[in-house]
Amino acid sequence: MDSLEAELDRARDLDVGALADSIEAIGFECTRCGGCCTGDPLDDGDEEVDADGDGSETEADGPGPEDESGGREPHTATVFPDEVRELRSAAEATFGEAYDWRDVARPMPFGLTGEAEGGNDGDGVTGETFEWALGTDDCGDCTFYEESDGQGACTVHDARPLICRTYPFSVALGGTSQPMGEAVDAEGLVRAHECEGLGRDISRVEAEELAAALKRRAIRELEEAIAVRDTYEPAGVDGVVVHDSEGRKRPDGTPVESPD
């Protein structure tokens, strides 16, 4: 059996009670710090340049050449095509205005080359990539993030994607994603990733809700990975092409037709 199918079987067999036990043992309470919804400071040497020619890379040099967000790396979280559509509907209902695909999601930047302006679909950007990332604002924060009095909030909370519902946790199955890099804690099959809310008491009800969402996410990620593998066709066209479980798309979400 293909390994992704085997992992999908394992995901479908996950015991929500056992996952909840692990989440309770690790502990978690959201502090609304916004850390999982906002851009990150750039790593040293990542994008910094000696623009003022003083021989050093300092903040005075300003953001690097590919940095459009004031010295911060844009928030990058995977959102699946059905979740993009749900977010569009939720945003339209919340804000009373039309939301296009590209208002919600941008192509994952990995694999693309050129000036990544305007959400990776600006002039000169080419290449093929896999999946979508939540859209970001000029500061590199998720486009749906709002902050007031130091408290962060998601403006589409009820429609937020599975990756957001389950952060800072993941399940250690092959083919599932590990957000924000390496795990900082582990219990059973559950992995915990960098978050200031870890280690706090969590109720059994909340742990079970999180565990159920974590199982749904593991299944969804593996189903998506299998569909992408099975539908993949090399781009063979100019510009940016995004491969997801529904086939090939342009950055505005429209399908790329196969040449006759």
- Partners of residue 41 on adjacent β-strands: 72
Site string for ligand SF4, 160-199 (x = CB under 6 A): x---x-----------------------------------
**For ligand SF4, the closer CB: 158 or 238:** 158
**Cα separations (Å) of 110 from 129, 251, 252?**
6, 14, 17
**For ligand SF4, the closer CB: 120 or 247:** 120
Shortest Å distance, C-beta 152 to ligand SF4:
8
Site string for ligand SF4, 104-143 (x = CB under 6 A): ------------------------------x-------x-
Q: Do 41 and 71 form a contact (C-beta atoms < 8 A)?
A: yes
Shortest Å distance, C-beta 145 to ligand SF4:
4
Q: How many CB atoms lie within 10 A of CB 229?
A: 13
Which of 6, 30, 154, 183 lies at the binding interface for ligand SF4 (CB under 6 A)?
Answer: 154
Radius of gyration of the chain, Cα coordinates, nearest whole angstrom: 19
Q: Which three-class secondary structure state does DSSP give residue 130? A: strand
Sign of torsion, CA 64 70 72 77? Answer: negative
- C-alpha triplet 203, 206, 210: angle, nearest 5°: 135
From 58-66, 156-164, 210-218, 231-239, span contacting ligand SF4 (CB under 6 A): 156-164
d(CA 141, CA 81): 20
Binding interface with ligand SF4 (CB under 6 A): 37, 77, 134, 142, 144-145, 154, 156, 160, 164
